[in-house]
Amino acid sequence: MGAVSPKDASDDAEIDFTRNRWAGARVEVRLVATDGAGQVGYSEPHVFVLPEKLLLQPLAKAVQDIRVTILREDAPYEDSPPGEDALTAGAYFVSATQRLARAPDGVQRGAVMLEAVTYQAPLYFKDILVYTGLRAAQHELTVADSIQQAKQVEPLLWSVVLRAEYGTAADALSALLAARKALEEALRDGASEEEIARLMEAFKNAAQRYVAAKMAEALANGMEAPPDDTDSAQQGGGPSLGGQDFSDMLDALQDLTETGSTEQARQLLADITNMLENLEFQQGSGQGDGFPGMPGEPGESDEDLPQEEREMTETMRELSDLLRQQRELNDETLAQQRGERRQPEGAETPEGEGGEGFDPDAPDWMREGGDGQSLAERQDELGNMVEELARRHGEGGDSVDGGEEGEGTGGGLLDEELLESIERAQRRASRALEDGNELRALRNQEQATRQLRELAEGLAEALDAAREERVGDDDIRRAAEQAADPFGNSSTGGIDDSNSVDVPDEAERQRAKDILDELRQRYGDTLDEDEREYLERLLDRF
């Protein structure tokens, strides 16, 4: 709030005290406020127990007790006897016992506790890294010569606590929290669009690695493996957390960062991170389309649906993927039009070799496609995908399963005229890209994007109507209620975070995207320099 000078102001702050040495202890807290003139004000004291990290593993709890015992000791070491400082380097470890004898009580107790915890290690330690970390901490305490040196063991002990509690997921959790912090700071400080996009990608990768690590840990502990056809967390049908698709949450977060909805993005970022920190894979009934212990739709998988709904669901996924790829291509075309994307001319420049216009350090999106395709080739490939979609699901489309007429047919799901219009726009965009006319390509790409969105919205409405007709609104609500116990826990044995993660409404996010698409189209259409400059400033705000 440094940019304003109010008489009264309020704000929310979230401070993590779980690593503080007084975590778990009863403390007296005062808030301190300093105004622009340097005047300091104090709140009334509040007494409460400082929150501590919830640990379930006995070894993690024991190491945390050792860590706190050392950190809460403030007394100095006793003075060293005359002549001890003059010991030769070879006698350094000989004097270690003497140094520990001069340590204050807290440090000595910590050393004894470490000795006890590591006693007969082969009988108790499954993770060699936990054991070696504790032995290293014990050595550091033994050779410390001051209370400041003794307390330098804290980062090592904290890492051991996390490793003992979370296992191999500990490193993934640390990476997740670091990625969240970096993205949150970038959103708060108004970083550039490129920086936020880079940090958003880093957070998505960290979140996906953490879920994968937790799943691997659960499998190692005896949980049954998910079916081979279960989608991964990195795809659209990934693990459903409380009935919400994990990838959809990440996509919603990315939408918010791209459209400048900073506060909503920061809130969703915090919600997703908190949900992941509390994530536990449990042995469930295997119902739903999520992983075991991670329910999808209550008691219903794709195989349970009528064939028509199953085909509509699969087609919806195809459309969503097409729309995502088309939007990515739109962004890259706009970047190339602005001169931000490198487009080598002539033959492809092999990766790792020199060449004019080639930057080995440039991010992937500024180069050719991942398989060496140009923008024009990728756009033409999307046109082929739409053509295939029209062949299978257009009003005169082929049967998906080759079944009898009226049963299991893929034809008639999508508006054939709209599909043809989308394909024509994509072909025109591809030709424009071949000719180097990015503005004309952008206009046609935006048309294809709008019509793909219309197609997806129409199919989604038809799918909702089909399901309501089959089971009815009351049955849908009852099924959702029966899937959770009175505490909100899923009956499949997993966790239900549908009430704790507030994913912004799809329509609201779509409106923001529509505005952004419209600004981009106008930017590409206008020839007036003043208007282009104004539109570019608006686009920069996104």
Cβ atoms of 388 and 410 closer than 8 Å: no
240-241/244-245 β-pairing: antiparallel
**Backbone angle region of 533, left / alpha / beta, with phi > 0 → left and psi within -120 to 50 → alpha:** alpha
E strands in 71-170: none
The total number of structural domains that make up the chain: 4
Same-domain pairing of 331 and 424: yes
Structure tokens belonging to residue 61: 């709890």
Cβ atoms of 480 and 242 closer than 8 Å: no
The residue among 502, 505, 501, 482 whose CA lies nearest residue 492 is 482
Which residue type does 539 have? L
The per-residue pLDDT for 174 is 79
> Does any domain span residue 513?
no
Residue given tokens 């104090």 in the structure block: 42
Which residue type does 66 have? I
> Does any domain span residue 92?
yes
The per-residue pLDDT for 354 is 38
Same-domain pairing of 22 and 120: no
> Does any domain span residue 351?
no
> Does any domain span residue 359?
no
Same-domain pairing of 46 and 115: no
Same-domain pairing of 152 and 90: yes
The per-residue pLDDT for 224 is 53
Same-domain pairing of 264 and 336: no
Structure tokens belonging to residue 80: 């060293």
Structure tokens belonging to residue 321: 């993927």
Walk along the chain (542 residues) and give the pLDDT tens digit of each residue: 444 456 676 766 677 788 899 988 899 999 898 888 889 999 999 998 888 877 767 888 899 999 999 999 999 998 876 655 544 444 444 466 678 888 999 999 999 999 999 887 767 777 888 888 999 999 999 889 899 999 999 999 998 998 887 776 677 787 788 888 888 888 877 777 778 888 888 888 888 878 877 776 666 655 554 544 444 333 333 333 443 457 777 778 887 777 777 777 788 888 877 777 776 654 443 333 333 333 334 344 556 677 888 888 888 888 878 888 888 888 888 878 777 654 444 434 334 333 433 344 433 433 444 456 789 999 999 999 999 988 887 655 544 343 343 344 445 678 888 999 999 999 999 999 999 898 889 889 988 988 888 888 788 778 777 777 776 544 544 444 444 433 334 443 343 444 445 555 555 555 566 666 666 677 677 667 766 676 666 555 55
Same-domain pairing of 263 and 204: yes
Residue given tokens 């990768």 in the structure block: 205
The per-residue pLDDT for 113 is 93
The per-residue pLDDT for 303 is 62
> Taking the CB of residue 219, how many other CB atoms lie within 10 A of it?
15
> Does any domain span residue 364?
no
Domain C-terminal end among 115, 143, 167? 167
Residue given tokens 């004291």 in the structure block: 45
Same-domain pairing of 238 and 159: no
> Does any domain span residue 542?
no
> Does any domain span residue 3?
no
Cβ atoms of 386 and 416 closer than 8 Å: no
Structure tokens belonging to residue 210: 């953490």
The per-residue pLDDT for 71 is 94
Same-domain pairing of 207 and 290: yes
The per-residue pLDDT for 504 is 54
Same-domain pairing of 324 and 429: yes
Q: Give residue 453's domain range.
A: 307-341+372-482
Handedness of CA 295, 296, 298, 301 (dihedral sign): negative
Same-domain pairing of 206 and 238: yes
Whole-number Å distance between alpha carbons of 399 and 420: 19
Decide: residue 385, CB within 10 A, 0-12 exposed, 13-18 middle, 19+ buried. middle
Q: 36 φ, ψ to 5°?
A: -65, -25
Check which CATH number belongs to the domain holding 448 and give it.
1.20.120
Cα dihedral 197→201→203→207 (10° resolution): 150
> Does any domain span residue 541?
no
Same-domain pairing of 320 and 465: yes
Same-domain pairing of 402 and 295: no
The per-residue pLDDT for 255 is 79
Whole-structure pTM value = 0.41
Domain C-terminal end among 141, 167, 193? 167
